[in-house]
Structure 1
Amino acid sequence: MTGIGWLAAIIIGGIAGWLAEQFMKSNMGILMNIILGIVGALLLNAILMAIVGSTLGGWIGQLVIGFIGACILIFLARAIRRST
């Protein structure tokens, strides 16, 4: 994550994952919320770096990126679950 420490990444990831869980009407649990928020942020940061060449910085930027990334991951998990 850009410019934030590990503890902040866990806190932001948990908040982003929880917000995504509420928005997508999912029930994942606190640990999965943190994982989805962090992985979603990492994934979306990598995509933004490849396409745009930069990413959003700071707590708010990472929260937004984590939220969007977690929503994408929840959507993909649901799509995979439905196809099997």
Structure 2
Amino acid sequence: MQFGSIIAMLLIGAIAGWLSGKLMKGRGFGLIGNIIVGIVGAFLAGLIFPALGFSVGGGVIASIFHATLGAVILLFLIGLIKRA
């Protein structure tokens, strides 16, 4: 993995984590936590969505959308675990 792709992954993860924190009404974890949630959410979405037949296309906007959906799912699951 090249340095530029790592920076792009972190930026997309940060944006997706921030968006998911806003969508889930303040369930974010700060800047570093949001980056981690965004990256893990993108990985989670990359596993789940193709199995369901869901595709959003390519490009940066599609990557942010994909990662945000995965991060929202991840934040929802974390919220369920915290309540239990």
The normalised TM-score by structure 1 is 0.83
Q: Does 1:17 align with 2:13?
A: no
The answer for the alignment partner of 1:34 in structure 2 is 35
| Number of residue pairs aligned between Structure 1 and Structure 2 | 80
Alignment gaps of 5+ in structure 1: none
Q: Does 1:73 align with 2:74?
A: yes
Distance 1:28-1:52 versus aligned 2 partners, 3 A rule: same
Deviations 1:3-28, CA, capped at 9 Å, x for gaps: x8211110010001001101111241
Q: Name the SS of the counterpart of 1:47 in structure 2.
A: helix
- Structure 1 contact 45–55 (Cα < 8 Å) conserved: no
The residue type equivalent to 1:10 in the other structure is L
Distance 1:53-1:78 versus aligned 2 partners, 3 A rule: closer
RMSD between superposed Cα atoms in Å: 1.9
Alignment gaps of 5+ in structure 2: none
